[in-house]
């Protein structure tokens, strides 16, 4: 009988700690301690044991029952501790989580990337350049004479050591042509700086996208074609562009670019100040003096360039009438463009 009791105890020591639910544990309790358990069975047969051994067996049976009952009790606590600690700590894992506010790309970045994608699809490569420039790249190499009003410190931020904050992305024309031979077909986007008071249409820090194409036989119709393709893609497919004669030191002829008002389609409205057209930027055929400066033969090569304001494009696309809304980081405004 002693061996039988020992066997039962060992089995119980193995099976009870490995059980995983209250239900299994209850089954084990019935199995080891219930009325029909083998221990109860042995207890009822205690009379068959010799008189001398009987008290010893009785005591062993009781001790075993006690140990098994303790094992079960301990296991019950273990099981409950596992499922209940989170609740005990005041955490209800069944509750839905608190939503975290999700951020989004700034509207200006969204447009910026879209602009680059469109030009990449039109076969342009993207070139990046410095915001701190020399007078040479920002003005001299771009055929801008020393007395030109744009060079005035009232318009341009000058830094120590003859450097300045670029006032336009056009210096990238020079940097790219200096480095590569034609054919050139690039855009360059980025921050520009001008000494301007903030108002509904001016920021001292703004963004431009510059395009430059130079090869044999490039004409103004290539310029018009590239611009038209771009404005049709960034706005709507019925958007038209037009040139208005203008002057830039680094292009000849030069033009200002307008697009047909995206709001009234030319009828005249508040947005276009009844003119039917919206100003978008500057353009022209690269001046032969600029080509010569970078060592290109102006007899062999011609090129076009244009520069557009990215904030202007963003304002039109998003229907923002005050440019400052793009930089004041007002979440109520930014959330509209998520």
Shortest spacing between CB 303 and ligand PHE, in angstroms: 10
Question: Should residue 108 be labelled a site residue for ligand PHE when binding is judged by CB under 6 A?
Answer: no
Q: How is residue 158 annotated by DSSP?
A: B
Q: Exposure of 319 by Cβ count < 10 A (0-12 exposed, 13-18 middle, 19+ buried)?
A: exposed
Question: Should residue 251 be labelled a site residue for ligand PHE when binding is judged by CB under 6 A?
Answer: yes
Question: Per CB under 6 A, which of residues 197..236 are in contact with ligand PHE?
Answer: 210
Question: Per CB under 6 A, which of residues 296..315 are in contact with ligand PHE?
Answer: 305-307
Shortest spacing between CB 153 and ligand PHE, in angstroms: 18
Pick from 107, 129, 182, 282: which binds ligand PHE (CB under 6 A)?
A: 282
Question: Should residue 156 be labelled a site residue for ligand PHE when binding is judged by CB under 6 A?
Answer: no
Shortest spacing between CB 233 and ligand PHE, in angstroms: 20
Q: Token pair 């003859």 is at which residue?
A: 162
The CA-CA-CA angle for residues 162, 164, 169, to 5°, reads: 135
> Would you say 64 or 208 has its CB closer to ligand PHE?
208
Give the Cα separation of 310 and 206 in Å (integer): 8
> Would you say 170 or 189 has its CB closer to ligand PHE?
170
Shortest spacing between CB 167 and ligand PHE, in angstroms: 7
Q: Token pair 């011609």 is at which residue?
A: 302
Question: Should residue 248 be labelled a site residue for ligand PHE when binding is judged by CB under 6 A?
Answer: yes
| Integer CA distances (angstroms), 252 to 64, 68, 133, 219, 260, in order | 106, 101, 24, 12, 24
Shortest spacing between CB 197 and ligand PHE, in angstroms: 18
Shortest spacing between CB 326 and ligand PHE, in angstroms: 18
> Would you say 189 or 251 has its CB closer to ligand PHE?
251
| 302 within 8 A of 311, measured Cβ to Cβ | no
Give the interface segment with ligand PHE, choosing from 110-118, 121-129, 235-243, 282-290 (CB under 6 A). 282-290
> Would you say 190 or 282 has its CB closer to ligand PHE?
282
Give the interface segment with ligand PHE, choosing from 63-71, 199-207, 279-287, 322-330 (CB under 6 A). 279-287
Question: Should residue 138 be labelled a site residue for ligand PHE when binding is judged by CB under 6 A?
Answer: no
| Closest among 198, 131, 196, 191 to 159, alpha carbons compared | 131
Question: Should residue 283 be labelled a site residue for ligand PHE when binding is judged by CB under 6 A?
Answer: yes
| Integer CA distances (angstroms), 321 to 201, 273, 311, 314, 326, in order | 8, 13, 11, 10, 10
| Integer CA distances (angstroms), 255 to 51, 210, 243, 245, 288, in order | 123, 14, 6, 4, 16
Cis peptide before 246 (omega within 30 of 0): no
Shortest spacing between CB 211 and ligand PHE, in angstroms: 8
Shortest spacing between CB 245 and ligand PHE, in angstroms: 13
| Closest among 289, 290, 284 to 304, alpha carbons compared | 284
Pick from 170, 188, 239, 241: which binds ligand PHE (CB under 6 A)?
A: 170
Give the Cα separation of 271 and 279 in Å (integer): 11
| Closest among 132, 141, 208, 142 to 165, alpha carbons compared | 132
Shortest spacing between CB 264 and ligand PHE, in angstroms: 26
Mapped onto helix, strand or coil, the DSSP state of residue 284 is strand
Question: Should residue 124 be labelled a site residue for ligand PHE when binding is judged by CB under 6 A?
Answer: no
Which spans of this chain sit near ligand PHE (rule: CB under 6 A)?
Answer: 168, 170, 210, 248, 251, 281-284, 305-307
């Amino acid at each position: 009988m002693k061996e039988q009791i020992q066997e039962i105890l060992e089995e119980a020591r193995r099976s009870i700690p490995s059980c995983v639910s209250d239900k299994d544990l209850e089954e084990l309790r019935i199995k080891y301690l219930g009325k029909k358990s083998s221990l109860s069975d042995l207890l009822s047969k205690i009379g068959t044991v010799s008189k001398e051994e009987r008290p010893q067996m009785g005591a062993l049976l009781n001790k075993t029952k006690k140990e098994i009952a303790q094992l079960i009790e301990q296991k019950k606590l273990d099981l409950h501790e596992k499922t209940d600690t989170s609740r005990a700590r005041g955490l209800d894992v069944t509750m839905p989580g608190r939503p975290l506010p999700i951020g989004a790309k700034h509207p200006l970045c969204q447009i910026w990337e879209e602009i680059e994608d469109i030009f990449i699809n039109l076969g342009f490569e993207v070139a990046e350049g410095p915001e701190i420039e020399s007078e040479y790249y920002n003005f001299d190499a771009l055929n801008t004479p020393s007395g030109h009003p744009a060079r005035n410190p009232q318009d341009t931020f000058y830094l120590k050591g003859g450097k300045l904050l670029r006032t336009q992305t056009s210096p990238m024309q020079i940097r790219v042509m200096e480095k590569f031979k034609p054919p050139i077909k690039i855009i360059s986007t980025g921050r520009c700086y001008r000494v301007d008071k903030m108002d509904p249409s001016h920021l001292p820090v703004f963004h431009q996208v510059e395009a430059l194409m130079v090869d044999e036989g490039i004409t103004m119709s290539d310029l018009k074609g590239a611009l038209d393709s771009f404005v049709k893609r960034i706005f709507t497919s019925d958007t038209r562009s037009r040139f208005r004669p203008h002057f830039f030191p680094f292009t000849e002829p030069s033009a200002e670019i307008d697009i047909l008002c995206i709001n009234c389609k030319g009828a005249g409205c508040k947005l276009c100040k009844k003119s039917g057209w919206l100003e978008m930027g500057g353009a022209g055929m690269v001046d032969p003096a600029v080509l010569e400066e970078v060592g290109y033969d102006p007899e062999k090569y011609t090129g076009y360039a244009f520069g557009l304001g990215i904030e202007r494009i963003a304002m039109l696309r998003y229907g923002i009438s005050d440019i400052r809304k793009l930089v004041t980081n007002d979440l109520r405004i930014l959330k509209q463009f998520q």
